[in-house]
Each structure stands twice: as structure tokens, then as C-alpha cells.
Amino acid sequence: MPILEVKVVGAKNLPNTESFGMIDPYAQVQLGDKTYATQPVDNTQSPAWNETFRFQIADENSARL
């Protein structure tokens, strides 16, 4: 079965939606019924995650990330 490897590197200049303090952003990736989330990064609008996730692909022609 093929494997898709997704690396979530980071984000820049996210809007601060908190009334007090700063945001603690994280990212989610989903393929089919499998969902992964990065660890939250405290108090930043430009997080760096550098996390890699692996999905098994049943049908590489119809799978959507």
C-alpha cells in the first residue's frame, strides 16, 4: 500500500484571536478517517512545527488531503 508523507513546517503572521495574551497555534492534516495534529506552540503568531505525518493510501487516484 502506498504511503503519503506530509511535513508541516510552519506558518507566518497568523492573526491573534485571543482577547488576552497570544495564540497557541497548531495544525491539523486529515486524509480519509485519519487525522493528525501538530503540537501547539505557545504564544506565537509564527509557529515552527517541523513535524512529519504518514498516511497509508488505499487508492492513490482518489485520495484527498
Give the phi and the psi of residue 16 in degrees, each rounded to 5: -85, 110
State the DSSP string of 5-48: EEEEEE--S-----SSS------EEEETTEEEEPPP-TT-SS-E
pLDDT tens digits in sequence order for the chain, 65 residues long: 789 999 999 999 999 998 888 999 999 999 888 999 999 999 999 999 999 999 998 877 777 77
Q: Which pLDDT does position 64 carry in this prediction? A: 75
Q: Which pLDDT does position 6 carry in this prediction? A: 95
Q: Which pLDDT does position 24 carry in this prediction? A: 96
Q: Measured over all CA atoms, what is the biggest interatomic distance in the chain, rounded to whole angstroms?
A: 47
- Residue 38 buriedness (CB in 10 A; 0-12 / 13-18 / 19+): middle
- Does the pTM of the predicted model rise above 0.75? yes
Task: Report the amino acid identity of residue 48.
Answer: A
